[in-house]
Amino acid sequence: MPALDLNLKHLRYFWAVAREGNLTRAAARLHVSQSAVSVQIRNLEDDLGTPLFERRGKQLVLTEAGRIALDHADAIFGLTDELVATLQQGSVGQRVLRVGAVTTLSRNFQLGFVQPLLGRSDVEIVIRSGLMRDLLRNLEAHQLDVVLATSPPARDAASAWTPHEVGTQAVSLVGPPAFATRKRSLEELLREEYLVLPTVESSIRTGFDAFAESLGIRPRIAAEVDDMAMLRLIARQHQGLAVVPPVVVRDELANGVLVEVEQLPHLHESFFAITSERRFPNPLLMELLKAPDERLLVEEH
C-alpha cells in the first residue's frame, strides 16, 4: 500500500474544527466559509479512509480515529510553531519563554525561577497557571516550554516529560512578631497553638501529619488551605502559627510582619521544573535549568 501524502491544509482545518467543536466557529477562526471547511474535512476523511467526526445535534464529536488524529495534529502543529519560533530567534530582537505553573504554586517561587531573565530587553516571559493535567497537555503540544510544580507528575515509559528538581525549601512555623519573645519548645507550640495548614493533598501536609503523630500530638487546626497565595494572606491575618515554606512569606519575613518561629525538622518542599523532549530546546529555559536561583535552595538544619 503506497504511503499517504497527507495534505497539511486539510489537517489544519480538521484541527480547528476539533478544537472548536463546531464548523461555524472553526470557519470564523480560519477566515473561510463553512462549506470550505466541510469540503476539507471530507477530503481528509477520504484520504484517511475513516470518519473523524460524528454529528450530535449541532456539535461535531470526535470519533476514536478523530481523537488519535487530534493527538498527532497537536504534536505536528506544536512542532511547526516551535520550529518557526526557534529559527526566527536569530532575526528578531526578542525571544519568548512560556511558563506554566500549577494554580497552588507559590508566586514567590515563580518569580524566583524567572528572575534571572527579568529586565532583559531581548526576552518576553509568558506565565500561565492551571491544573497539572492541562499544563502537561500544553507542554506536550509545545505550547509551553516548562511547567512548574511542587511534585513530579506520575509517569511511565510512554510519558514525554522529565521533572527537574530546581529547589528545596525548608518548612517552618511562622507567626506574628510576638512569638519571637515567647520561648516555648516546638512540641509546646504544636500542642497549644491553632495552626493554619496546607490541605491533606499537599506533600507538606503529609510530612507534617507524620511528624505530629510521631510526637503524639493532635494539632488544633484553624484553617486548611490548598492555595499558597491564600495561605500567605491568612498567615498575615492569623494570630496563631502557620505551617509554610518561608519562600511563600519571604516579603513578610523581610519586613517583620511575620517571624520564623521554628523550623520543622526533616520537613521540606521541593520545587520541580517539568520539561518535555524537544528537538529545538528553548535556550532561555536551558539558562534557568543550568543555574537555578540559589535563594530557593535552602538546606535543612
pLDDT at 278 over 70: yes
Q: Average pLDDT of 160-180?
A: 88
pLDDT at 150 over 90: no
Q: Average pLDDT of 176-180?
A: 89
Q: Average pLDDT of 85-109?
A: 75
pLDDT in tens, 12-25: 888 888 888 888 88
Q: What is the pLDDT of residue 297?
A: 44
CATH annotation of 94-167+271-296:
3.40.190.10
pLDDT at 36 over 70: yes
Q: What is the pLDDT of residue 87?
A: 63
Share of the chain above pLDDT 70, in %: 88
pLDDT at 5 over 70: no
Task: Pick one of 2.40.50.100, 1.10.10.10, 3.40.50.1820, 3.40.1190.20 as the CATH number of 8-84.
Answer: 1.10.10.10
pLDDT at 269 over 50: yes
Q: What is the pLDDT of residue 292?
A: 53
DSSP code for 122: T
Q: What is the pLDDT of residue 86?
A: 62
What average pLDDT does the structure give for the chain? 84
φ/ψ (deg, to 5) at 169? -115, 130
pLDDT in tens, 71-84: 788 778 777 766 66
Buried b (16+ CB within 10 A) or exposed e, 223-232: bebeebeebb
H or E stretch at 74: helix 64-88
Q: What is the pLDDT of residue 84?
A: 66
Name the residue type at position 127: I
d(C-alpha 159, C-alpha 81), whole Å: 22
Common-topology check for domains 8-84 and 169-268 = no
d(C-alpha 206, C-alpha 200), whole Å: 7
pLDDT at 89 over 60: no
pLDDT at 301 over 60: no
Q: What is the pLDDT of residue 295?
A: 43
Q: Average pLDDT of 206-231?
A: 92
Q: Average pLDDT of 129-149?
A: 89
pLDDT in tens, 246-257: 888 989 999 999
Say which residue the cell 491568612 belongs to: 234
H or E stretch at 253: helix 250-255
Q: Average pLDDT of 4-10?
A: 72
pLDDT at 123 over 60: yes
φ/ψ (deg, to 5) at 89? -60, -30
Distance separating the N- and C-terminal Cα atoms of the chain? 67
pLDDT at 296 over 70: no
Q: What is the pLDDT of residue 256?
A: 92
pLDDT at 105 over 90: no
Taking domain 169-268, whether its CATH number is 3.40.190.10 is answered by yes
Looking at per-residue confidence, does 7 or 143 come out higher?
143
Can you give the residue ranges of every domain in the chain? 8-84, 94-167+271-296, 169-268
d(C-alpha 31, C-alpha 40), whole Å: 14
